[in-house]
Amino acid sequence: MTNLMRSDNTFNKYLEQDKEELLAYLKEINLYSDEKQNEIKEDLIEVHKNIYSLCLWITEFDGCPINQKIYLEQIRSDAIQSLYLSLLGFKKPVKLLLRGMIEDILNHVYYYDH
């Protein structure tokens, strides 16, 4: 149980650090202005946590064949792009990226089990 708590604390530490870096970057490029902060802060933090978790999946499959790993790389790429495009106000590309992530998750499961 202590290993689980230790890994959870480590995850939360890096998650918080990444979140702060993301928010600083978004402010720098003017996608997270003071006016927007009140509207989207809670949603942005939740979305960031989910994307961060998806991006970590690939680290759990280091020794996998490329036909399994490629889908995890695509999930990571699509997740990061979806956050940026959603902040710009694009709806259709974000929906297509989310659809692609679902397909890649299913493909990864299929190739991982076969």
The average pLDDT across 27-39 equals: 84
The average pLDDT across 42-67 equals: 88
Contact call for residues 72 and 61 (beta carbons, < 8 A): yes
pLDDT of 64 over the 90 cut: no
pTM: 0.81
Contact call for residues 80 and 94 (beta carbons, < 8 A): no
Determine the Cα–Cα distance for residues 101 and 80; give it in Å rounded to an integer: 11
Phi, psi torsion values for 57, nearest 5 degrees: -55, -40
The average pLDDT across 37-62 equals: 89
Highest mean pLDDT among 29-33, 60-64, 85-89: 85-89
